[in-house]
Copies of this chain bind each other. A is one copy, B any other.
Amino acid sequence: MPLPFHTSRFVEFSDTDMAGIMHFSAFFRYMEAAEHELLRSLGFSVYSEIDGDVVSFPRVAASCEFHSPARCEDVLDIDVTVRRVGTKSVTYGFEFSQHGRDVATGQMTSVCCRVPHGEPPVSIPILNAVADKLREMAGD
């Protein structure tokens, strides 16, 4: 059974736009922050190094559907689900709500990569310890 990860986020003034609501691009930053928080909850940093190369999780895909506006000073509940764990990639689902009101639904796929300085990222297998915990969250 999948184990969702829960976090929340306060909508700041600087995340709003002149339509008076939170700008849609901010949802993607919030998703990334929630993903990183989930990884830290498993004892894994967003950003580590192997032999001097950075190991990170760049995204290969991100999407979001916006159902109702988020506003300044709203506290958004964010439920993160691990949807799929591959050898090198993870897919997460995100549910944003406020006091039970559905706000947005998103998805992101991140690929474990070694990022040699100034060169293109190279995908690598996710560390076993991390993959195991993510699979546990996915209910696999």
A residues within 8 Å of B by Cβ? 12-14, 16-21, 23-25, 28-29, 32-33, 36, 40, 45-47, 49, 52, 54, 56, 58-69, 72-73, 115, 117-118, 120-121
Contacts of A64 in B (CB 8 A): 61-63
Is the CB–CB distance between A54 and B120 below 8 Å? no
Q: Which residues of B contact A36 (CB under 8 A)?
A: 12-13
> Which of B21, B62, B65 meets A24, CB within 8 Å?
B62
- Please determine whether B46 and A29 come into contact, CB atoms closer than 8 angstroms: no
Smallest CB-CB separation from A113: which chain B residue?
B19
With a CB–CB cut-off of 8 A, which chain B residues contact A65? 60-61
Alpha-carbon separation in the docked complex, A24 to B62 (Å): 9
Partner of A25, one of B25, B69, B73: B25
Is there contact, CB below 8 Å, between A19 and B54?
A: yes
| Residue of A18, A40, A46 ringed by the most chain B CB atoms within 10 A | A18
